[in-house]
Amino acid sequence: MTFAEDLVRPTLNMQRTFDAPRGLVWRAWSQPEIMVLWMGPVEWPAVSVTSDFRVGGAWRICLRSPETGQDLWQGGIYKEIVEPERIVFTFKWDDSHEDGPPVDTLVTVQLSETADGQTRMDFTHEGLKSAQSLTGHKHGWTSTADRLEAWLAANPDTRRDTP
């Protein structure tokens, strides 16, 4: 007799509203020279980003600990790109972590304009391995979104003309 277990893998859902036009937020997600400036949590900032930004194209990011100099690599494939609204890509760590070998997961970034000219980001990271992985990714992506928000605030393109 065999049994199949239907294990539900955790999903991270996050919503953020940025005081920036959607086009600028889109560029921040789609251009590697901008991504390297904000990607990664504050304690593991990106030091290298490569991206072939097209459906089927690959991306790779190296995060580095400022304290230890240790590198963590991650990468994936772009599955869907609908400018300036939606990016879907696979996400996988190169190395094993505490909860076992790396697995492919799926990230969806949905951008929409708000009535007051801000940008709402609906972010989903599906297929995480465990509750521990969910907790770690929640911290990492929240810190990353904070860094994106800071980059957008510092970018002159976020200034709005006032009537």
3-state SS class at 134:
helix
pLDDT at 4: 43
**Which pTM was predicted?**
0.89
Q: What is the pLDDT of residue 161?
A: 42
Q: What is the pLDDT of residues 98-113, one digit of tens each?
A: 666 778 999 999 999 9
Strand order in the sheet with 71-82: 12-18, 119-126, 105-113, 86-93, 71-82, 58-64, 46-51
pLDDT higher than threshold 90 for residue 154: yes
Q: What is the pLDDT of residue 78?
A: 99
Element (H, E) at 16: strand 12-18
- Work out the average pLDDT over 120-148: 95
Going along the chain from its start, the domains and CATH numbers come out as 13-154 (3.30.530.20)
What is the C-alpha separation between 28 and 26, in angstroms, rounded?
A: 5
In DSSP terms, 123 is beta-bridged to 14, 109
Query: What's the rounded Cα separation, in Å, for the pair 149 and 128?
Result: 25
